[in-house]
Chains A and B, each alone.
Chain A
Amino acid sequence: MIEAIDFSLLALTSPGWGGALLAGFLRSVELAAGGYLLGIVIGLLGATAKIYGGRILRDIAELYTLLIRAVPELVLMLLFYYVGTDLLNTLMASLGREGIDIDGLSAGILVIGLVQGGYATEVFRGAIRAVPPGQIEAAQAFGMSPFRVLRRVTLPAMAPHALPGMANLWMIATKDTALLAVIGFSELTLVTKQAAAATREYFLFFIAAGLLYLALTLISNLGLRWLERRARRGLPAAA
């Protein structure tokens, strides 16, 4: 027999868990946004290294994307989080410095960013390749420096090609934050699990968490659609 669901458990203040859920949700959004932005930076560096870099830079970028894309994300996260901080502390110790304490948020952003960067590198690489070389050549012929060519021509011209892939990566970033529950981040999934376990209302809390993830996706879609319209200005409408 199904008992009536006690929605008061979702109240924002104790004994309700709503406030904790929202805090976890905000933490998830922070992790996703930070990791995504870091991923964009790494992706741009990786893509330019792969396309314009010398042999060594190219090999490094190649190895990075190979590893990121070959190893399951959960394993990568565990690896970066535990081994990464360990390595960092050992390194600092060998340099005679004391170990640094990375706070949870930075560590989480770093972990998500490193994973996202691997995929973003490939998205940007494909998008840059899709820019007709003549447009870049024209910029060079007018005496633009390589950096300016990149900033004024290559990057804006590749943006519409990168957006669908990057929109995808944002969705993945929001959901990858849930994996961080395994490491003990009190993001939405972990908080939900705690709330559910404490109250035995698994259905209620996981539905609530699902709705929060869904809301994030729907709002993101609006933003992404606006971005895509903006990036595609000047391009013929998609067939």
Chain B
Amino acid sequence: MNDATPAVEIRDLHKRFGRLEVLKGISLTARPGDVVAVIGGSGSGKSTMLRCINMLETPTAGDIAIHGEDYKMRATRDGGLEPADRKQLQRIRAQLGMVFQSFNLWPHRTVLGNVIEVPVQVMGLPRDEAVARARQVLDRVGLAAKEDAYPSQMSGGQQQRCAIARVLAVEPLAMLFDEPTSALDPELVGEVLNVIRDLASEKRTMILVTHEMGFARDVASHVVYLKDGRIEEQGPPEQIFGDPRSPHLQQFIRSIA
């Protein structure tokens, strides 16, 4: 581990939906090059935690810093927090790329249109430069031949690879994966995992919420086990999967295997 500025730093994050407290004080750091896998049962809060990182969910309490910059937050009337500086929010968000469980491609744009959209519209890249970059990343995810297809004309695996290309095109500081293979037919999971594995081997910073334990063990540099809104155990994958200490984690790993 080096002592560079963390790409993502979460300090004592709380999130409450009404009376239900989903996150009960989570602290987590991802340094540049870290691949953090977040595992845990359903309802453990792992997706909520991930969505707080780019403020798709706003925390009830706690701080989040991206590359050393804290989100400026202000209190809301119902006792939570909300982003106080829209410009800052948009600037920070543009440095994060999120891959969603349900792809969330823009259906009215082609594959190429989806991939150049953010570089052109948000980052202000000239169109031809964005297209050149898009072709590169599409080639990386194996969709070079599909640039004129619309999302609806592709398989789920292809759509998710396109969504990954869309993230790669913004050259993000950190990539956030929210259960990227959960919505896929089993035979399509492999092609998506291979692309992610490839990216992980390049030392890209990633935070990956996943149910694929074998995959997490392979690619993660650090594994976090969430249970009832708290980090119950964390460590290198060999320790988490090979020598889990908490009885909950032991049981969780047995139930998945």
Contact = CB atoms under 8 A, between A and B. Distances in A.
A152 B107 contact: no
Interface string B195-210: 0000000000000000
Contact of B93 (A143, A153, A160, A231): A143
A79 B214 CA distance: 71
A157 B56 contact: no
Interface stretch (A28-36, A130-138, A178-186): A130-138
- For the residues of B in contact with A, the DSSP-based class is loop
- For the residues of A in contact with B, the DSSP-based class is helix
A94 interface: no
B56 A156 contact: no
B122 A157 contact: no
B158 to A, nearest CB: 14
Contacts of A148: 121-122
Interface residues of B, number: 31
Contacts of A135: 104-107
Given A234-B151, A234-B152, A235-B152, A141 B56 contact: yes
Interface stretch (B24-32, B36-44, B95-103, B185-193): B95-103
B104 A142 contact: no
Contacts of A143: 89-95, 118, 122
A233 interface: yes
B117 interface: yes
Nearest to B120: A152
Interface residues of A, number: 24
Interface string A145-175: 1001000110011011000000000000000
A236 interface: yes
Contacts of B103: 134
Contacts of B86: 145
A92 B70 CA distance: 52
A236 B106 CA distance: 13
A221 interface: no
A236 B152 contact: yes
Contacts of B54: 141
A117 B122 CA distance: 32
B110 interface: yes
B150 interface: yes
A160 B96 CA distance: 31
17 contacts: A134-B102, A135-B107, A137-B104, A138-B100, A142-B94, A142-B98, A142-B122, A142-B170, A143-B95, A144-B118, A144-B122, A148-B121, A148-B122, A159-B108, A160-B108, A233-B150, A234-B150
Interface of B: 54, 56, 86, 89-98, 100, 102-110, 117-118, 121-122, 150-152, 170
